[in-house]
C-alpha cells in the first residue's frame, strides 16, 4: 500500500535547481535523492516509536474499505488519506468498522476491525462469515498490539546499513532480471502458511515465468505430516472437514481440537452446542499426555504418553474391529508396530463400545503433529465407524504441495540456491535442529528476510525488510473451509512495512497499486469480478461460495496400511519430550506481545515463561519441586529448563511449549522461558522419544503464576454434576448451597430503579478456558501489562481471570478433572466493596452496576480486601507510564509510553494512574454507547420502550463457545435472562448474600457408566474438606 500524498512530481525542467542532475532530472539523481533521504536520515529515531509528526501523518482512514453498515461504497479511490486532512465519512470519536481477516496457519480468522480516528484498536469476529460466530481467539485479540509494537522492525537494512526503498526495488528488479535470464535457477522463496490465494496466484505466475524457482513453505508447528497422509488416502490437496456438532461420541487422541490456534475456528462452538444437558449431549473421551483445553472438557480422560498414542489408537481399532468384524481395520490394528504398552482393557472396551453405539455419529480425532501411522489408524477407525461422509467430510483444496524446509536445506547444501527470500517465519529459530539451518543460510550468497521483528533470522540475512502487519496491508486469506477472506489495511504502514504480496508481485513483474494484486486474484476465482462484487467482498469480509467443495471421502485401505506400517515403535521405558504450541506465543511468533506473554497458560497459569511439565510421579522420582532445573537430553543435544509439576500429566513424559527462550531479540522476550527447538528434528516435530531427563543441582527458577492453589478445598465454587444427576435434579447446583440464612441487610441497598438491569451468565459447561475473553478485555479496557516480577508478587491487572480448578474425587491422578471458571467483577447488588470505601469512590448505579470513580479513588484498598472474589485490581505503580523494568526507580525512571502504544488504546476507556483501584465494569463504555444509541433512536418517544441496539461485552463477544452471556436481566426475553433461568444457574458464594449479578451455570459431565471410574466423573464437589 503506497501513500498517495507524496512530494509533487518535479517538473522535467525545474526552474530552480541545485545540481546539474536535478536540472536534468536524471535517474541517477532521483535514486541518490531517495537513498539520501531515507526515513532514518530524515531525523526519525528508529528506537523510539513514532514521532508526533508521523503519528498525524499516518493516522489514515481506509476509504474504499466499505465498512459494515457504513457508507463508503460510493468512494472508488483505494487510497489511504492522512487523517490530518479530515475525511468526510468520519465523525471524530466515533468508531468505524471494517471487515478484514487475520491470516494464520490454521486458516484466516474473519474479523471486524474497530478503528478509532484512523487507528485500529480492537478486533472482533465477523459474524457474517459462515465459520465464525463472531468470536475470536486470544491471538487475534492481541494482534492489535503487534501492530503498534515499538520494537517492530522499522527500516530496510542491507548488511546492517539502513537503505531506502529504492534499493530494495533495485534488488528485486535485479533478482527478476537474473531469474528471467536463467529461468529462476538459484532463486528460492520460503513462505509461511498464510493460506493466501494471491500468494498462490503469484507463486503460479512466478513458476510459470521462472520454472526453476524453488518454492518452499514451512511452519514451525505444521500439520504437513498429517496432510501428507490425507493426500495419500484421499487424493492430493484433500483436507478433512470435521463436524463436531454432529458427533454424539468423540474420541480425541492427543488432539487439542477445542483450541482455535490448533484447529481453526468452529470446533469450540460446534462442541459447545452439544453440551447442553437439556438437549442431546455429546460425550468426549480424551487420551492425551498433558492436560489440554480439550482434556479439561473430557468426560473421560486417560493419561497416555504421546509416543503411545499409536498403541492407544491401535488398541481402540482392534476393539472396534473385533466388534464389527471389519477385516480392514483389524489388519490396520495388527499392522501397527507399537511399543507393546497395554491399556486398561475396560477403558478401551468402553470407548470402543460407545463409539460403535454411535456409528456414523461419532468422531475420532488426532493431533496434527502425530506420525502418519496414528493418523492412518484414526482414519481407519472413523471409516469403520461409518463416520466418513457424516461427521468427517473431505474438502478438495486443489493445493499444490510446496517444497519442504528439508528440501531447501538440501538445495543449499548442493549449492544450488543463490538467492533466498524468506517471506515469513523465523526459520533460524524454529527450524528442526538437525537441519542446521543457520549455518546453511550463511552459505547462500544473497538472502532476504521479511519480518515484523528483527529476529534471529533477520540478524543473519543480508537484507532485512520490515514486514507490513496484516492490519496495514492488502491481502487475502482462506479460512479453514476455504472461504476467501479479504485482508484490508486499516492504517498506512507505521514503519514503511512491506507485505509479502508486494515483494512477490514485484518479482512477478506485476505493478502493484493498492489492492490491485488482491483484486486480480479476486477476478480469478470470483464468477462476478465487477466493482460491485469486489465491494461486497470487502464489505462482507469474505467471498461467499468460495469454500472448497465438500466430498464424501472414499477410504483408501492400501494407503492407510502403508502409513501404519511406517510406524517405528519406541522403547517405553525412556522419557519422551512433547513439543507444545504455546497458549501465549504460539510457535514464538507472538513472543514480543506483552499482552500474550502476560496471558496465563490455559492449564499451568504460568505467565512470561514456559516450563518443562512433568507428572507428579515423575517429579517425585526425579526428586524435584516446581522450578527445579531439568536437563533434557535428546541425541547429542540438550536443553536445560525449569520444571513445573503438572497434575494429570502422563508419566515418563515431559511437555514443553515452543517459542520461548529467545534472548537478544528484544527486551520484552529477554529471559523469558526456555528454548525447546534444539530438541526437535525433522522426524520428531510433535514429540521425541528416547530422551534422557535428569535433575540439575541448581537454584530453583522462579516462575510467575496467576493461580497457585488449584484445589477448591471442598468449597463449592465451580460446581459440576453428571447428566444423570442433572436429569434427576436439574437444580443440583443451587442445591449445593444448602440452607442459606435469611437475607438481611443493615444498610439500605442502592435502589435498582433503572429500566435496564445488567447481568452476566457464565456457562461452565461450554467455557473451555481458552483465554480469548482475557485478551479481549485487556484490549477493550486498556488493562496494563505489569511484567513477570509484578505478577510473581500477585499484582496482575487482568479484569477477568480464568480460575482453573483441579478436582479428583478419590485423590488419584487417573480421576483428575479440570474446570476452568471465568471470574470477573460479580457486580453484587449488595456489594461488600461499596460499604467499606471511605471516599465513596465505588458506588452503585441504578442499573445494578458496581461503578468505580477513578478520580475519587484514593487507594485505601479496603474494597479489594473485602471482595470475596478478589477481582479488584490495584495500580501499585504507574504501570502505564513507567518502563516495567524500572517501576522501582520511581520518579527517576523515564515517564510516558511509546506513542505507538498510545495509539492502541481504546479512547472510550480511561487509562488509570497509579494508586487507584480498577476492575471489570461490564464494559460500561459499550453500555453507554448503546444507551445513547437508544435515546437517539427514541427521539421524543418513550426511551424505555425503545429496543436497545444490540451489543455485547468484550468478553462475551470474543468467546468462541458462547459461554458468556451478558445483557439486560430486566428483559425476560434477553439471552441472559434465559440463561439465568436455567436450572443449572447458581451464584458462587451465595451464602454471603451479596446477590452477584454474575451467575454461573454448573458444568454437567456425561460419563459412560460402563467406563472404569465412571462414578468419579463429575464429582468435583464431592466433599473432601479437612475442617
Which residue number, 511 or 747, has a Cβ lying nearer to another protein?
747
The vertex-772 CA angle with 766 and 777, nearest 5°, equals: 115
Q: Are 829 and 835 in contact (CB under 8 A)?
A: no
d(CA 248, CA 271): 10
Does position 860 interact with another protein (CB under 8 A)? The reply is yes
Does position 837 interact with another protein (CB under 8 A)? The reply is yes
Return the residue of 194, 803, 817, 982 that touches another protein, per CB under 8 A: 803
Does position 744 interact with another protein (CB under 8 A)? The reply is no
Return the residue of 346, 532, 552, 839 that touches another protein, per CB under 8 A: 839
Q: Which stretch binds another protein (CB under 8 A): 515-523, 595-603, 766-774, 876-884?
A: 876-884
Does position 339 interact with another protein (CB under 8 A)? The reply is no
Closest alpha carbon to 975 in 1005, 994, 952, 1002: 952
Which residue number, 718 or 959, has a Cβ lying nearer to another protein?
718
d(CA 124, CA 452): 22
Q: How far is the CB of 303 from another protein (least distance, A)?
A: 24
Which residue number, 875 or 977, has a Cβ lying nearer to another protein?
875
Which residue number, 325 or 738, has a Cβ lying nearer to another protein?
738
Q: Which stretch binds another protein (CB under 8 A): 4-12, 171-179, 228-236, 881-889?
A: 881-889
d(CA 626, CA 608): 16
Q: Please name the residue that has the C-alpha cell 504502514.
A: 493
Return the residue of 40, 864, 938, 1014 that touches another protein, per CB under 8 A: 864
Which pairs from 1-8 meet CB under 8 Å and 24+ separation? 1/80, 1/468, 1/472, 1/473, 1/474, 1/489, 1/492, 1/493, 1/499, 1/514, 2/513, 2/514, 3/80, 3/492, 4/79, 4/80, 4/81, 5/81, 5/82
DSSP bridge partners of 467: 498
DSSP bridge partners of 242: 392
Q: Which stretch binds another protein (CB under 8 A): 277-285, 424-432, 563-571, 851-859?
A: 851-859
Q: How far is the CB of 923 from another protein (least distance, A)?
A: 22
Return the residue of 400, 870, 937, 1022 that touches another protein, per CB under 8 A: 870
Q: Are 355 and 587 in contact (CB under 8 A)?
A: no
3-class secondary structure, 490 = coil
Q: Are 988 and 828 in contact (CB under 8 A)?
A: no
Return the residue of 857, 884, 903, 958 that touches another protein, per CB under 8 A: 857
Q: How far is the CB of 707 from another protein (least distance, A)?
A: 5
Q: Which stretch binds another protein (CB under 8 A): 291-299, 486-494, 776-784, 850-858?
A: 850-858
Any residues with CB less than 8 A from the CB of 201 and at least 6 apart, and which? 520, 521, 524
Phi, psi values for residue 7, rounded to 5° = -55, 140
Q: What is the dihedral of CA 1001, 1002, 1008, 1009, to 10 degrees?
A: -140
Q: Which stretch binds another protein (CB under 8 A): 353-361, 428-436, 771-779, 873-881?
A: 873-881
Does position 1025 interact with another protein (CB under 8 A)? The reply is yes
Which residue number, 975 or 992, has a Cβ lying nearer to another protein?
992
DSSP bridge partners of 79: none
Return the HEC string of 1000-1015.
EECEEECCCCCCCCHH
Any residues with CB less than 8 A from the CB of 620 and at least 6 apart, and which? none
Q: Could you count the other beta carbons within 10 Å of the beta carbon of residue 942? A: 8
Q: Are 877 and 893 in contact (CB under 8 A)?
A: no
Give the containing element (helix H, strand E) for 434: none
d(CA 729, CA 923): 35
Does position 915 interact with another protein (CB under 8 A)? The reply is yes
Does position 902 interact with another protein (CB under 8 A)? The reply is no
Does position 793 interact with another protein (CB under 8 A)? The reply is yes
Return the residue of 212, 443, 698, 715 that touches another protein, per CB under 8 A: 715
Q: How far is the CB of 969 from another protein (least distance, A)?
A: 24
Q: Which of residues 650-709 bind another protein (CB under 8 A)?
A: 707-709
Q: Are 434 and 688 in contact (CB under 8 A)?
A: no
Q: How far is the CB of 955 from another protein (least distance, A)?
A: 18
d(CA 977, CA 965): 9
Q: How far is the CB of 902 from another protein (least distance, A)?
A: 21
DSSP category for residue 682: T
Q: What is the dihedral of CA 839, 840, 842, 846, to 10 degrees?
A: -170
Q: Could you count the other beta carbons within 10 Å of the beta carbon of residue 938? A: 14
Which residue number, 573 or 838, has a Cβ lying nearer to another protein?
838
Does position 822 interact with another protein (CB under 8 A)? The reply is no
Does position 840 interact with another protein (CB under 8 A)? The reply is yes
Return the residue of 505, 585, 777, 916 that touches another protein, per CB under 8 A: 916
Q: How far is the CB of 761 from another protein (least distance, A)?
A: 19
Q: How far is the CB of 772 from another protein (least distance, A)?
A: 19
Q: How far is the CB of 599 from another protein (least distance, A)?
A: 16
Does position 215 interact with another protein (CB under 8 A)? The reply is no
Q: Which of residues 937-976 bind another protein (CB under 8 A)?
A: none
Q: Which of residues 978-1017 bind another protein (CB under 8 A)?
A: 989, 991-992, 994
The grid cell for 51 is 514521532
Q: Are 207 and 350 in contact (CB under 8 A)?
A: no
Q: How far is the CB of 831 from another protein (least distance, A)?
A: 10
Return the residue of 362, 684, 790, 1006 that touches another protein, per CB under 8 A: 790
Cα-only R_g, the chain: 29
Which residue number, 322 or 993, has a Cβ lying nearer to another protein?
993
Per the document, the length of the chain is: 1027
Q: How far is the CB of 740 from another protein (least distance, A)?
A: 12
The vertex-925 CA angle with 470 and 902, nearest 5°, equals: 45
Which residue number, 579 or 877, has a Cβ lying nearer to another protein?
877
d(CA 802, CA 61): 36
Does position 875 interact with another protein (CB under 8 A)? The reply is yes
Does position 890 interact with another protein (CB under 8 A)? The reply is yes
Does position 832 interact with another protein (CB under 8 A)? The reply is yes
Q: Are 770 and 960 in contact (CB under 8 A)?
A: yes
Does position 878 interact with another protein (CB under 8 A)? The reply is yes
Q: Sign of dihedral through CA atoms 232, 233, 236, 240?
A: negative
Which residue number, 621 or 893, has a Cβ lying nearer to another protein?
893
Return the residue of 631, 861, 902, 934 that touches another protein, per CB under 8 A: 861
Q: Which stretch binds another protein (CB under 8 A): 246-254, 544-552, 669-677, 710-718?
A: 710-718
Does position 911 interact with another protein (CB under 8 A)? The reply is no
- The size of the interface with another protein (CB under 8 A), counted in residues, is 67
Q: How far is the CB of 601 from another protein (least distance, A)?
A: 15
Closest alpha carbon to 482 in 240, 225, 257, 267: 240
Which residue number, 34 or 835, has a Cβ lying nearer to another protein?
835
Residue numbers of the site for another protein (CB under 8 A)?
Answer: 707-715, 717, 747, 790, 793-796, 801, 803-805, 823, 832, 834-841, 856-862, 864-866, 868-870, 872-878, 887-891, 913-917, 989, 991-992, 994, 1025-1027
Amino acid at each position: 500500500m503506497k501513500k498517495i500524498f507524496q512530494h509533487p512530481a518535479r517538473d522535467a525542467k525545474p526552474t530552480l535547481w541545485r545540481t546539474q542532475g536535478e536540472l536534468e532530472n536524471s535517474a541517477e539523481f532521483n535514486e541518490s535523492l531517495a537513498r539520501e533521504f531515507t526515513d532514518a536520515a530524515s531525523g526519525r529515531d528508529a528506537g523510539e516509536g513514532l514521532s508526533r509528526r508521523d503519528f498525524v501523518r499516518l493516522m489514515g482512514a481506509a476509504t474504499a474499505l466499505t465498512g459494515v453498515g457504513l457508507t463508503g461504497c460510493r468512494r472508488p479511490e483505494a487510497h489511504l488519506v492522512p487523517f490530518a486532512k479530515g475525511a468526510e465519512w468520519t465523525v471524530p470519536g466515533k468508531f468505524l468498522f471494517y471487515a478484514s481477516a487475520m491470516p494464520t496457519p490454521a486458516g484466516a480468522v474473519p474479523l471486524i476491525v474497530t478503528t478509532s480516528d484512523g487507528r485500529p484498536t480492537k478486533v472482533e469476529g465477523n459474524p457474517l462469515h459462515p465459520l465464525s460466530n463472531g468470536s475470536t481467539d486470544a491471538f487475534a485479540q492481541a494482534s492489535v498490539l503487534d501492530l503498534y509494537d515499538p520494537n517492530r522492525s522499522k527500516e530496510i537494512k542491507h548488511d546492517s546499513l539502513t537503505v531506502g526503498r529504492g534499493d530494495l526495488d533495485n534488488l528485486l528488479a535485479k533478482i527478476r532480471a537474473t531469474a528471467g535470464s536463467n529461468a529462476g535457477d538459484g532463486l528460492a522463496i520460503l513462505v509461511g502458511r498464510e493460506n493466501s490465494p494471491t500468494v498462490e496466484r503469484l507463486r503460479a505466475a512466478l513458476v510459470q515465468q521462472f520454472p526453476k524457482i524453488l518454492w518452499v513453505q514451512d511452519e514451525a508447528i505444521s500439520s504437513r505430516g498429517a496432510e501428507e497422509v490425507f493426500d495419500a488416502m484421499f487424493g492430493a490437496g484433500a483436507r478433512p472437514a470435521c463436524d463436531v456438532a454432529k458427533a454424539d461420541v468423540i474420541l480425541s487422541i492427543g488432539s487439542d481440537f477445542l483450541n482455535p490456534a490448533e484447529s481453526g475456528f468452529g470446533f469450540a462452538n460446534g462442541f459447545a452446542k452439544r453440551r447442553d444437558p437439556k438437549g442431546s449431549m455429546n460425550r468426549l473421551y480424551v487420551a492425551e499426555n498433558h492436560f489440554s483445553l480439550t482434556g479439561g472438557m473430557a468426560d473421560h480422560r486417560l493419561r497416555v504418553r504421546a509416543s503411545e498414542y499409536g498403541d492407544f489408537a491401535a488398541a481402540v481399532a482392534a476393539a472396534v474391529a473385533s466388534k464389527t468384524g471389519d477385516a480392514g481395520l483389524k489388519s490396520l490394528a495388527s499392522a501397527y508396530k507399537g511399543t507393546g504398552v497395554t491399556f486398561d482393557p475396560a477403558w478401551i472396551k468402553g470407548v470402543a463400545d460407545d463409539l460403535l453405539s454411535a456409528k456414523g455419529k461419532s468422531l475420532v480425532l488426532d493431533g496434527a503433529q502425530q506420525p502418519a501411522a496414528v493418523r492412518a489408524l484414526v482414519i481407519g477407525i472413523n471409516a469403520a465407524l461409518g463416520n466418513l461422509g457424516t461427521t468427517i467430510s473431505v474438502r478438495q483444496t486443489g493445493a499444490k504441495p510446496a517444497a519442504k524446509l528439508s528440501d531447501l536445506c538440501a538445495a543449499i547444501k548442493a549449492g544450488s540456491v543463490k538467492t533466498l527470500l524468506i517471506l515469513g517465519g523465523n526459520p533460524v529459530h524454529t527450524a528442526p535442529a538437525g537441519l542446521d539451518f543457520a549455518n546453511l543460510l550463511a552459505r547462500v550468497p544473497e538472502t532476504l528476510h521479511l519480518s515484523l521483528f528483527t529476529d534471529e533470522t533477520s540478524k543473519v540475512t543480508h537484507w532485512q525488510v520490515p514486514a507490513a502487519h496484516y492490519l496495514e496491508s492488502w491481502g487475502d486469506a482462506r479460512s479453514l473451509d476455504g472461504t476467501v477472506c479479504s485482508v484490508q489495511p486499516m492504517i498506512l504502514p507505521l514503519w514503511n512495512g512491506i507485505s509479502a504480496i508486494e515483494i512477490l508481485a514485484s518479482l512477478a513483474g506485476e505493478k502493484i497499486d493498492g489492492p490491485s494484486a488482491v483484486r486480480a486474484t479476486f477476478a480469478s476465482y470470483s464468477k462476478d469480478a465487477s466493482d460491485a462484487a469486489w465491494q461486497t467482498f470487502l464489505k462482507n469480509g469474505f467471498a461467499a461460495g468460495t469454500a472448497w467443495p465438500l466430498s464424501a471421502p472414499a477410504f483408501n485401505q492400501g494407503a492407510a496400511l502403508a502409513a501404519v506400517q511406517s510406524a517405528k515403535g519406541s522403547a517405553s521405558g525412556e522419557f519422551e519430550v512433547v513439543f507444545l504450541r504455546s497458549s501465549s506465543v504460539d510457535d514464538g511468533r507472538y513472543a514480543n506481545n506483552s499482552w500474550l506473554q502476560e496471558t496465563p497458560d490455559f492449564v499451568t497459569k504460568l505467565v512470561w515463561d514456559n516450563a518443562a511439565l512433568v507428572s507428579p510421579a515423575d517429579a517425585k522420582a526425579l526428586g524435584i519441586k516446581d522450578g527445579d532445573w531439568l536437563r533434557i537430553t535428546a541425541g547429542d543435544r540438550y536443553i536445560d529448563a525449569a520444571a513445573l509439576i503438572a497434575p494429570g500429566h502422563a508419566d515418563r513424559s515431559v511437555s514443553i511449549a515452543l517459542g520461548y527462550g529467545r534472548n537478544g531479540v528484544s527486551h520484552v522476550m529477554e529471559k523469558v522461558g526456555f528454548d525447546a527447538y534444539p530438541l526437535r528434528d525433522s522426524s520428531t516435530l510433535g514429540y521425541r522419544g528416547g530422551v534422557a531427563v535428569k535433575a540439575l543441582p541448581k537454584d530453583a527458577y522462579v516462575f510467575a503464576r496467576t493461580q497457585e492453589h488449584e484445589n477448591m478445598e471442598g468449597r463449592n465454587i465451580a460446581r459440576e454434576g453428571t447428566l444423570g444427576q442433572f436429569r434427576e435434579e436439574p437444580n443440583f447446583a443451587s442445591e449445593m448451597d444448602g440452607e442459606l440464612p435469611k437475607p438481611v441487610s443493615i444498610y439500605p441497598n442502592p435502589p435498582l430503579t433503572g429500566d435496564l438491569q445488567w447481568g452476566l451468565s457464565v456457562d461452565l459447561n461450554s467455557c473451555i478456558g481458552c483465554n480469548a475473553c482475557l485478551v479481549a478485555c485487556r484490549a477493550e479496557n486498556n488493562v496494563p501489562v505489569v511484567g513477570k516480577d509484578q505478577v510473581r508478587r500477585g499484582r496482575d491487572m487482568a479484569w477477568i481471570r480464568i480460575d482453573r480448578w483441579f478436582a479428583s474425587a478419590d485423590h488419584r491422578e487417573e480421576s483428575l478433572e479440570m474446570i476452568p471458571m471465568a471470574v470477573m467483577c460479580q457486580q453484587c447488588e449488595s456489594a461488600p466493596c461499596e460499604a467499606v470505601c471511605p471516599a465513596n469512590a465505588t458506588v452503585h448505579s441504578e442499573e445494578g452496576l458496581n461503578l468505580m470513580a477513578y478520580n475519587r479513588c484514593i487507594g485505601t484498598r479496603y474494597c479489594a480486601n473485602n471482595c470475596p472474589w478478589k477481582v479488584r485490581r490495584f495500580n501499585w505503580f504507574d504501570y502505564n507510564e513507567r518502563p516495567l523494568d524500572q517501576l522501582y526507580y520511581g520518579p527517576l525512571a523515564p515517564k510516558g509510553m511509546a506513542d505507538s502504544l498510545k495509539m492502541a488504546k481504546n479512547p472510550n476507556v480511561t487509562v488509570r494512574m497509579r494508586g487507584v483501584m480498577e476492575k471489570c465494569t461490564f464494559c460500561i463504555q459499550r453500555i453507554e454507547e448503546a444507551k445513547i444509541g437508544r435515546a437517539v433512536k427514541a427521539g421524543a418517544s418513550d426511551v424505555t420502550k425503545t429496543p436497545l441496539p444490540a451489543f455485547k461485552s468484550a468478553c462475551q463477544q470474543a468467546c468462541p463457545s458462547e459461554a458468556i452471556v451478558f445483557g439486560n436481566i430486566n428483559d425476560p426475553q434477553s439471552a441472559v435472562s434465559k440463561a439465568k433461568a436455567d436450572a443449572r444457574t447458581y451464584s458462587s458464594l451465595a451464602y454471603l448474600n451479596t446477590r452477584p449479578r454474575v451467575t454461573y451455570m454448573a458444568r454437567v459431565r456425561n460419563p459412560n457408566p460402563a467406563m472404569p471410574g465412571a462414578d468419579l466423573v463429575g464429582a468435583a464437589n464431592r466433599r473432601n474438606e479437612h475442617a
